[in-house]
A = this chain, B = another copy of it.
Amino acid sequence: MRKTVSVSLDEFDRKILDAVQDDNLSPLRLIADKVGLSVPAVARRLQRLRETGVIEKDISVVDQDLVGRPLTLIVEVTSESERLELLDAMRERFRACPQIQQCYYVTGQVDFMLVFNVRDMEEYTALTRQIFFEGGNVESFRTFVVMDRVKTGMRTVVG
């Protein structure tokens, strides 16, 4: 059983997705104006986009600086063993760590790419011990300190 790999979206759907990826609290009336449909039409389409999972979720994004987590780090992790259970255990460890905002399993010379979001270096080094050294199966890791978050977010091009 496989996930549906595509859904049919027309130009209206794309415009709606474009709008709500910027602001999903905007009144339907405004979206309706922008895309050239009536409010009920937009409502129906949004409902369908949510039911089918095209719109995965609706969330607030908080400013990490203003809540005291100004530091972002990107970390490449290379594992010792590629054994499935061990890799899965790592995945789970990373997923469970709240300060790890993003985790990708990748091909190539490294195995995982992580994005950390922490209060300061002290918190990071402490986490490092916990999930890299004590966690197990980590051969090495390389840390990049983010100096400028040039572009962030989860926006997807729907064009």
Return the contact of A94 from the options B105, B113, B150 (Cβ within 8 A). B150
The reply to whether B60 and A156 form a contact with Cβ atoms under 8 Å apart is no
Number of interface residues of A (CB under 8 A): 70
A84 within 8 A of B: no
| Copies of the protein in its oligomer | 2
> A149: which B residues are within 8 A, CB to CB?
104
> A25: which B residues are within 8 A, CB to CB?
24, 58
Return the contact of A55 from the options B4, B60, B100 (Cβ within 8 A). B60
A85 within 8 A of B: no
A89 within 8 A of B: no
Q: How far is the CA of A137 from the CA of B59 in the complex (A)?
A: 37
Return the contact of A57 from the options B23, B55, B94, B98 (Cβ within 8 A). B23
Return the contact of A146 from the options B23, B65, B101, B104 (Cβ within 8 A). B104
Q: Mark A2-29, 1 if CB is under 8 A from B, else 0.
A: 0111110100000001001111110000
A148 within 8 A of B: yes
Return the contact of A155 from the options B101, B110, B113 (Cβ within 8 A). B101
The reply to whether B61 and A59 form a contact with Cβ atoms under 8 Å apart is yes
A62 within 8 A of B: yes
5 contacts across the A-B interface (CB closer than 8 A): A56-B60, A59-B154, A103-B151, A105-B147, A106-B146
Known: A24-B58, A153-B154. 4 other contacts (CB 8 A): A6-B67, A55-B61, A61-B154, A104-B149
3 closest A-B pairs by CB:
A105-B148, A106-B144, A20-B60
